[in-house]
Structure 1
Protein backbone atom coordinates (compact mmCIF):
# COMPACT_ATOMS: atom_id res chain seq x y z
CA UNK A 1 0.00 0.00 0.00
CA UNK A 2 1.26 3.53 -0.69
CA UNK A 3 2.46 5.58 2.26
CA UNK A 4 0.04 8.28 3.36
CA UNK A 5 2.02 9.81 6.24
CA UNK A 6 5.64 9.81 7.39
CA UNK A 7 6.15 9.74 11.16
CA UNK A 8 9.41 11.13 12.53
CA UNK A 9 11.01 10.53 15.87
CA UNK A 10 12.85 13.71 16.92
CA UNK A 11 15.84 12.79 19.09
CA UNK A 12 18.74 11.45 16.98
CA UNK A 13 16.58 11.71 13.87
CA UNK A 14 16.02 15.46 13.51
CA UNK A 15 17.98 16.74 16.51
CA UNK A 16 21.01 15.05 18.00
CA UNK A 17 20.49 13.78 21.53
CA UNK A 18 23.78 12.86 23.18
CA UNK A 19 23.77 14.63 26.58
CA UNK A 20 26.94 12.86 27.63
CA UNK A 21 28.86 15.10 25.21
CA UNK A 22 27.90 18.26 27.06
CA UNK A 23 28.95 16.75 30.37
CA UNK A 24 32.26 15.64 28.88
CA UNK A 25 32.88 19.22 27.77
CA UNK A 26 31.90 20.80 31.09
CA UNK A 27 32.96 18.42 33.86
CA UNK A 28 35.28 16.04 32.00
CA UNK A 29 34.81 12.46 30.91
CA UNK A 30 35.89 10.80 34.16
CA UNK A 31 33.49 12.88 36.24
CA UNK A 32 30.73 12.33 33.71
CA UNK A 33 31.20 8.57 33.74
CA UNK A 34 31.05 8.57 37.53
CA UNK A 35 27.93 10.75 37.49
CA UNK A 36 26.07 8.60 34.98
CA UNK A 37 27.07 5.42 36.85
CA UNK A 38 25.86 6.69 40.21
CA UNK A 39 22.77 8.60 39.05
CA UNK A 40 20.21 7.28 36.58
CA UNK A 41 19.87 10.50 34.61
CA UNK A 42 18.25 8.80 31.63
CA UNK A 43 15.69 7.25 33.97
CA UNK A 44 15.05 10.71 35.37
CA UNK A 45 14.55 11.95 31.82
CA UNK A 46 12.09 9.12 31.16
CA UNK A 47 9.88 10.54 33.92
CA UNK A 48 10.07 13.97 32.32
CA UNK A 49 9.09 12.40 29.00
CA UNK A 50 6.00 10.97 30.71
CA UNK A 51 4.86 14.44 31.72
CA UNK A 52 6.53 15.03 35.08
CA UNK A 53 7.49 18.63 35.76
CA UNK A 54 10.85 19.37 34.13
CA UNK A 55 12.47 21.58 36.76
CA UNK A 56 10.99 19.83 39.77
CA UNK A 57 12.08 16.39 38.55
CA UNK A 58 15.66 17.48 37.90
CA UNK A 59 16.05 19.57 41.03
CA UNK A 60 14.53 16.92 43.33
CA UNK A 61 16.93 14.38 41.86
CA UNK A 62 19.80 16.80 42.56
CA UNK A 63 18.71 17.06 46.19
CA UNK A 64 18.91 13.28 46.49
CA UNK A 65 22.53 13.25 45.29
CA UNK A 66 24.26 16.21 46.98
CA UNK A 67 27.71 15.16 45.72
CA UNK A 68 26.43 15.52 42.14
CA UNK A 69 23.80 18.21 42.68
CA UNK A 70 25.36 20.94 40.55
CA UNK A 71 25.97 18.61 37.62
CA UNK A 72 22.46 17.14 37.83
CA UNK A 73 20.88 20.60 37.77
CA UNK A 74 22.68 21.20 34.48
CA UNK A 75 20.19 18.78 32.90
CA UNK A 76 17.62 21.53 33.40
CA UNK A 77 19.71 24.70 33.34
CA UNK A 78 21.81 23.76 30.28
CA UNK A 79 19.22 21.62 28.49
CA UNK A 80 19.48 23.40 25.14
CA UNK A 81 23.22 22.65 25.21
CA UNK A 82 22.59 19.00 26.05
CA UNK A 83 20.45 18.64 22.93
CA UNK A 84 21.30 19.41 19.33
CA UNK A 85 22.50 20.42 16.95
CA UNK A 86 19.81 19.69 14.39
CA UNK A 87 20.54 17.14 11.67
CA UNK A 88 20.28 19.38 8.58
CA UNK A 89 19.57 16.75 5.94
CA UNK A 90 16.80 15.22 8.04
CA UNK A 91 15.18 18.65 8.31
CA UNK A 92 15.47 19.05 4.53
CA UNK A 93 13.76 15.69 4.04
CA UNK A 94 10.93 16.74 6.35
CA UNK A 95 10.43 19.93 4.37
CA UNK A 96 10.70 18.15 1.02
CA UNK A 97 7.95 15.76 2.05
CA UNK A 98 5.74 18.64 3.07
CA UNK A 99 6.43 20.41 -0.22
CA UNK A 100 5.28 17.24 -1.98
CA UNK A 101 2.04 17.26 0.00
CA UNK A 102 2.94 14.23 2.14
CA UNK A 103 1.53 14.30 5.65
CA UNK A 104 4.28 14.48 8.28
CA UNK A 105 3.85 13.66 11.95
CA UNK A 106 6.17 13.77 14.95
CA UNK A 107 6.06 10.90 17.46
CA UNK A 108 8.63 11.57 20.13
CA UNK A 109 9.47 10.86 23.74
CA UNK A 110 9.79 14.46 24.86
CA UNK A 111 8.82 16.26 28.04
CA UNK A 112 6.35 19.12 28.24
CA UNK A 113 8.98 21.48 29.62
CA UNK A 114 11.80 20.29 27.41
CA UNK A 115 9.66 20.67 24.31
CA UNK A 116 8.83 24.24 25.32
CA UNK A 117 12.58 24.91 25.42
CA UNK A 118 13.19 23.14 22.12
CA UNK A 119 10.54 24.87 19.99
CA UNK A 120 12.13 28.35 19.89
CA UNK A 121 15.56 26.82 19.30
CA UNK A 122 14.45 24.63 16.39
CA UNK A 123 11.47 26.28 14.64
CA UNK A 124 10.98 23.36 12.25
CA UNK A 125 9.39 21.51 15.19
CA UNK A 126 6.27 23.57 14.48
CA UNK A 127 6.06 22.44 10.86
CA UNK A 128 4.52 18.99 11.34
CA UNK A 129 0.93 18.32 10.36
CA UNK A 130 0.43 16.53 13.67
CA UNK A 131 2.63 16.18 16.73
CA UNK A 132 2.45 13.37 19.26
CA UNK A 133 4.62 14.32 22.22
CA UNK A 134 4.85 11.78 25.03
CA UNK A 135 4.78 14.31 27.87
CA UNK A 136 1.44 15.68 26.73
CA UNK A 137 0.09 12.18 26.17
CA UNK A 138 1.35 10.76 29.50
CA UNK A 139 2.61 7.68 27.67
CA UNK A 140 5.80 6.94 25.81
CA UNK A 141 7.38 4.66 23.25
CA UNK A 142 7.61 1.69 23.06
CA UNK A 143 4.31 1.31 24.94
CA UNK A 144 1.83 -0.01 22.33
CA UNK A 145 -0.76 2.41 23.72
CA UNK A 146 1.00 5.43 22.25
CA UNK A 147 0.97 3.93 18.76
CA UNK A 148 -2.70 3.07 19.15
CA UNK A 149 -3.39 6.67 20.19
CA UNK A 150 -1.65 7.95 17.06
CA UNK A 151 -3.69 5.62 14.86
CA UNK A 152 -6.95 6.69 16.47
CA UNK A 153 -6.18 10.39 16.20
CA UNK A 154 -4.82 10.55 12.66
CA UNK A 155 -7.20 8.02 11.12
CA UNK A 156 -4.51 6.62 8.82
CA UNK A 157 -4.27 2.87 8.39
CA UNK A 158 -1.15 1.48 10.12
CA UNK A 159 0.06 0.00 6.83
CA UNK A 160 0.08 3.49 5.32
CA UNK A 161 2.28 4.98 8.05
CA UNK A 162 6.05 5.04 7.59
CA UNK A 163 7.80 5.52 10.93
CA UNK A 164 11.48 6.26 11.45
CA UNK A 165 13.20 6.06 14.83
CA UNK A 166 16.75 5.37 15.94
CA UNK A 167 15.77 2.84 18.64
CA UNK A 168 15.09 -0.76 17.63
CA UNK A 169 12.58 -1.29 20.46
CA UNK A 170 10.47 1.65 19.28
CA UNK A 171 10.62 0.39 15.70
CA UNK A 172 9.67 -3.14 16.74
CA UNK A 173 6.62 -1.89 18.65
CA UNK A 174 5.39 0.04 15.61
CA UNK A 175 6.04 -2.88 13.25
CA UNK A 176 4.04 -5.16 15.55
CA UNK A 177 1.02 -2.94 14.89
CA UNK A 178 1.49 -3.15 11.14
CA UNK A 179 3.27 0.17 10.58
CA UNK A 180 5.89 0.45 7.86
CA UNK A 181 9.17 1.20 9.61
CA UNK A 182 12.72 2.40 9.00
CA UNK A 183 15.41 2.09 11.66
CA UNK A 184 17.15 5.45 11.39
CA UNK A 185 20.92 5.20 11.01
CA UNK A 186 21.47 8.47 9.18
CA UNK A 187 19.54 10.70 6.79
CA UNK A 188 21.21 9.31 3.68
CA UNK A 189 19.67 5.85 4.13
CA UNK A 190 16.33 7.35 5.06
CA UNK A 191 16.40 9.50 1.93
CA UNK A 192 16.87 6.34 -0.14
CA UNK A 193 13.91 4.72 1.60
CA UNK A 194 11.73 7.73 0.83
CA UNK A 195 12.75 7.49 -2.81
CA UNK A 196 12.00 3.75 -2.94
CA UNK A 197 8.55 4.47 -1.53
CA UNK A 198 7.99 7.03 -4.29
CA UNK A 199 7.60 9.87 -1.80
CA UNK A 200 10.59 11.91 -2.99
CA UNK A 201 12.57 12.23 -6.20
CA UNK A 202 16.35 12.00 -6.26
CA UNK A 203 16.48 15.81 -6.48
CA UNK A 204 14.18 16.16 -3.47
CA UNK A 205 16.32 13.76 -1.46
CA UNK A 206 19.61 15.62 -1.90
Structure 2
Protein backbone atom coordinates (compact mmCIF):
# COMPACT_ATOMS: atom_id res chain seq x y z
CA UNK A 1 0.00 0.00 0.00
CA UNK A 2 1.46 3.31 -1.11
CA UNK A 3 -1.58 5.49 -0.46
CA UNK A 4 -4.90 5.46 1.34
CA UNK A 5 -7.97 7.06 -0.20
CA UNK A 6 -10.44 8.17 2.46
CA UNK A 7 -14.03 9.33 2.10
CA UNK A 8 -15.13 12.46 3.98
CA UNK A 9 -18.83 12.41 4.89
CA UNK A 10 -19.64 9.47 7.13
CA UNK A 11 -15.93 8.80 7.68
CA UNK A 12 -13.69 11.80 8.44
CA UNK A 13 -16.75 13.97 9.12
CA UNK A 14 -19.51 12.26 11.08
CA UNK A 15 -22.42 14.28 12.48
CA UNK A 16 -23.47 13.14 15.97
CA UNK A 17 -27.12 13.12 14.88
CA UNK A 18 -27.94 10.58 12.14
CA UNK A 19 -30.22 13.18 10.52
CA UNK A 20 -27.12 15.21 9.72
CA UNK A 21 -26.26 18.89 9.45
CA UNK A 22 -29.81 20.07 8.70
CA UNK A 23 -31.43 18.62 11.83
CA UNK A 24 -31.93 22.09 13.38
CA UNK A 25 -32.23 24.07 10.16
CA UNK A 26 -35.84 25.14 10.68
CA UNK A 27 -35.21 26.12 14.30
CA UNK A 28 -32.05 28.07 13.54
CA UNK A 29 -32.76 29.62 10.12
CA UNK A 30 -36.52 29.30 9.65
CA UNK A 31 -36.23 27.02 6.63
CA UNK A 32 -37.80 23.58 6.40
CA UNK A 33 -35.27 20.95 5.32
CA UNK A 34 -37.95 19.21 3.22
CA UNK A 35 -38.48 22.39 1.20
CA UNK A 36 -34.75 22.91 0.71
CA UNK A 37 -34.40 19.30 -0.43
CA UNK A 38 -37.32 19.54 -2.87
CA UNK A 39 -36.54 22.94 -4.36
CA UNK A 40 -32.74 23.01 -4.27
CA UNK A 41 -30.95 19.72 -3.68
CA UNK A 42 -33.14 17.34 -5.70
CA UNK A 43 -33.23 19.33 -8.97
CA UNK A 44 -29.80 20.99 -8.77
CA UNK A 45 -27.20 19.12 -6.78
CA UNK A 46 -26.33 16.55 -9.44
CA UNK A 47 -25.10 19.35 -11.72
CA UNK A 48 -23.38 21.21 -8.88
CA UNK A 49 -21.50 18.22 -7.50
CA UNK A 50 -20.29 17.24 -10.98
CA UNK A 51 -18.92 20.74 -11.57
CA UNK A 52 -21.47 21.59 -14.26
CA UNK A 53 -22.99 24.46 -12.25
CA UNK A 54 -21.87 26.75 -9.44
CA UNK A 55 -23.43 26.35 -6.02
CA UNK A 56 -24.54 29.97 -5.57
CA UNK A 57 -25.71 30.29 -9.17
CA UNK A 58 -28.36 27.66 -8.43
CA UNK A 59 -28.92 28.44 -4.74
CA UNK A 60 -29.59 32.19 -4.95
CA UNK A 61 -32.81 32.04 -7.01
CA UNK A 62 -34.13 29.16 -4.92
CA UNK A 63 -33.56 31.05 -1.66
CA UNK A 64 -35.22 34.13 -3.15
CA UNK A 65 -38.31 31.96 -3.64
CA UNK A 66 -38.39 29.78 -0.50
CA UNK A 67 -36.47 31.84 2.09
CA UNK A 68 -36.06 35.47 1.04
CA UNK A 69 -34.83 36.28 4.56
CA UNK A 70 -31.67 34.21 3.94
CA UNK A 71 -28.61 34.95 1.81
CA UNK A 72 -26.40 32.35 0.17
CA UNK A 73 -23.63 33.31 2.59
CA UNK A 74 -25.86 32.71 5.61
CA UNK A 75 -27.04 29.30 4.46
CA UNK A 76 -23.63 28.10 3.25
CA UNK A 77 -21.89 29.27 6.42
CA UNK A 78 -24.47 27.45 8.52
CA UNK A 79 -24.31 24.29 6.39
CA UNK A 80 -20.52 24.06 6.31
CA UNK A 81 -20.12 24.76 10.03
CA UNK A 82 -22.89 22.34 11.02
CA UNK A 83 -21.36 19.65 8.81
CA UNK A 84 -17.84 19.82 10.24
CA UNK A 85 -17.74 17.27 13.09
CA UNK A 86 -14.37 15.56 12.71
CA UNK A 87 -13.70 12.02 13.90
CA UNK A 88 -10.53 12.76 15.87
CA UNK A 89 -10.00 9.15 16.85
CA UNK A 90 -9.85 8.08 13.21
CA UNK A 91 -7.68 11.07 12.33
CA UNK A 92 -5.19 10.01 15.01
CA UNK A 93 -5.06 6.49 13.56
CA UNK A 94 -4.58 7.90 10.06
CA UNK A 95 -1.74 10.11 11.30
CA UNK A 96 0.07 6.98 12.51
CA UNK A 97 -0.33 5.41 9.06
CA UNK A 98 0.99 8.57 7.41
CA UNK A 99 3.97 8.61 9.75
CA UNK A 100 4.94 5.21 8.32
CA UNK A 101 5.27 6.75 4.86
CA UNK A 102 1.83 6.03 3.41
CA UNK A 103 0.25 8.97 1.59
CA UNK A 104 -3.24 9.99 2.72
CA UNK A 105 -5.66 11.34 0.12
CA UNK A 106 -9.29 12.37 0.45
CA UNK A 107 -11.63 10.89 -2.17
CA UNK A 108 -15.02 12.50 -1.80
CA UNK A 109 -18.19 13.71 -3.49
CA UNK A 110 -18.15 17.50 -2.97
CA UNK A 111 -18.81 20.69 -4.88
CA UNK A 112 -16.10 23.35 -5.07
CA UNK A 113 -17.06 25.57 -2.13
CA UNK A 114 -17.41 22.91 0.55
CA UNK A 115 -14.29 21.19 -0.76
CA UNK A 116 -12.36 24.42 -0.19
CA UNK A 117 -13.92 24.78 3.26
CA UNK A 118 -12.87 21.26 4.24
CA UNK A 119 -9.36 21.68 2.89
CA UNK A 120 -8.56 25.23 3.93
CA UNK A 121 -10.88 26.36 6.73
CA UNK A 122 -11.05 23.02 8.54
CA UNK A 123 -7.35 22.45 7.96
CA UNK A 124 -7.54 19.02 6.36
CA UNK A 125 -4.68 20.17 4.10
CA UNK A 126 -2.42 19.76 7.15
CA UNK A 127 -3.46 16.14 7.67
CA UNK A 128 -3.71 14.83 4.09
CA UNK A 129 -1.48 14.88 1.03
CA UNK A 130 -4.18 15.63 -1.54
CA UNK A 131 -7.91 15.90 -2.05
CA UNK A 132 -9.84 14.46 -5.00
CA UNK A 133 -13.47 15.54 -5.22
CA UNK A 134 -16.33 15.08 -7.65
CA UNK A 135 -16.72 18.63 -8.98
CA UNK A 136 -13.01 18.78 -9.85
CA UNK A 137 -12.90 15.25 -11.27
CA UNK A 138 -16.12 15.52 -13.28
CA UNK A 139 -17.27 12.20 -11.85
CA UNK A 140 -18.95 11.12 -8.60
CA UNK A 141 -18.76 7.81 -6.76
CA UNK A 142 -19.55 5.06 -7.58
CA UNK A 143 -18.99 5.84 -11.29
CA UNK A 144 -15.83 4.15 -12.61
CA UNK A 145 -14.59 7.50 -13.91
CA UNK A 146 -14.20 8.80 -10.36
CA UNK A 147 -11.63 6.13 -9.53
CA UNK A 148 -9.98 6.18 -12.96
CA UNK A 149 -9.44 9.93 -12.78
CA UNK A 150 -7.81 9.62 -9.35
CA UNK A 151 -5.44 6.97 -10.72
CA UNK A 152 -4.60 9.24 -13.66
CA UNK A 153 -3.98 12.26 -11.46
CA UNK A 154 -1.88 10.50 -8.82
CA UNK A 155 -0.04 7.96 -10.96
CA UNK A 156 -0.78 5.22 -8.43
CA UNK A 157 -1.63 1.78 -9.75
CA UNK A 158 -4.87 0.24 -8.42
CA UNK A 159 -2.97 -2.34 -6.38
CA UNK A 160 -1.11 0.48 -4.56
CA UNK A 161 -4.33 1.87 -3.08
CA UNK A 162 -6.50 1.15 -0.05
CA UNK A 163 -9.86 2.93 0.14
CA UNK A 164 -12.36 3.35 2.96
CA UNK A 165 -15.91 4.65 2.52
CA UNK A 166 -19.15 4.35 4.48
CA UNK A 167 -21.15 3.19 1.42
CA UNK A 168 -20.84 -0.40 0.22
CA UNK A 169 -21.55 0.56 -3.41
CA UNK A 170 -18.56 2.91 -3.44
CA UNK A 171 -16.32 0.25 -1.94
CA UNK A 172 -17.46 -2.34 -4.48
CA UNK A 173 -16.77 0.07 -7.34
CA UNK A 174 -13.23 0.62 -6.04
CA UNK A 175 -12.66 -3.13 -5.77
CA UNK A 176 -13.90 -3.54 -9.33
CA UNK A 177 -10.99 -1.35 -10.46
CA UNK A 178 -8.52 -3.43 -8.47
CA UNK A 179 -8.25 -1.23 -5.38
CA UNK A 180 -8.20 -2.78 -1.94
CA UNK A 181 -11.19 -1.30 -0.11
CA UNK A 182 -13.31 -1.65 3.01
CA UNK A 183 -16.58 -0.27 4.35
CA UNK A 184 -16.13 2.07 7.32
CA UNK A 185 -18.76 2.24 10.06
CA UNK A 186 -18.13 5.10 12.49
CA UNK A 187 -17.80 3.99 16.08
CA UNK A 188 -17.88 0.30 15.27
CA UNK A 189 -14.36 -0.48 14.18
CA UNK A 190 -10.74 0.60 14.23
CA UNK A 191 -8.68 1.43 11.19
CA UNK A 192 -6.01 -1.05 12.31
CA UNK A 193 -8.56 -3.87 12.16
CA UNK A 194 -9.62 -2.97 8.61
CA UNK A 195 -6.01 -2.83 7.49
CA UNK A 196 -5.32 -6.21 9.07
CA UNK A 197 -8.38 -7.75 7.38
CA UNK A 198 -7.13 -6.42 4.04
CA UNK A 199 -3.72 -7.96 4.63
CA UNK A 200 -2.07 -4.58 5.10
- Band of TM-score, shorter chain: 0.7 to 0.9
Question: 5+ residue gaps in structure 1?
Answer: 200-206
**How many residue pairs end up in the alignment?**
193
> Aligned partners of 1:67 and 1:111: how far apart in 2?
22
Query: Given that residues 50 and 111 in structure 2 are in contact (C-alpha distance below 8 angstroms), is that contact kept between their aligned partners in structure 1?
Result: yes
Cα separation, partners in 2 of 1:33 and 1:150, compared to 1, 3 Å: closer
Q: Map Cα deviations across residues 22-75 of structure 1 (whole Å, 9 max, x no partner).
A: 4155258xx635425633526534433222322222213324xx2345569454
Pairwise CA RMSD: 2.7
Q: What's the TM-score, normalizing by structure 1?
A: 0.78
> Aligned partners of 2:103 and 2:80: how far apart in 1?
28
> Aligned partners of 1:198 and 1:25: how far apart in 2?
47
> Aligned partners of 1:35 and 1:88: how far apart in 2?
33
Q: What's the TM-score, normalizing by structure 2?
A: 0.80
Q: 1:27-176 counterparts in 2 under 5 A?
A: 32=32, 34-36=34-36, 38-41=38-41, 44-51=44-51, 52-63=53-64, 66-70=65-69, 73=72, 74-176=74-176
Asked if residue 26 in structure 1 is aligned to residue 25 in structure 2, the reply is no
Partner of 1:11: 9
Greater share of helix: 1
Question: 5+ residue gaps in structure 2?
Answer: none
Q: Map Cα deviations across residues 58-97 of structure 1 (whole Å, 9 max, x no partner).
A: 213324xx23455694542423223121111121122111
Any idea what SS the aligned residue of 1:178 has?
coil
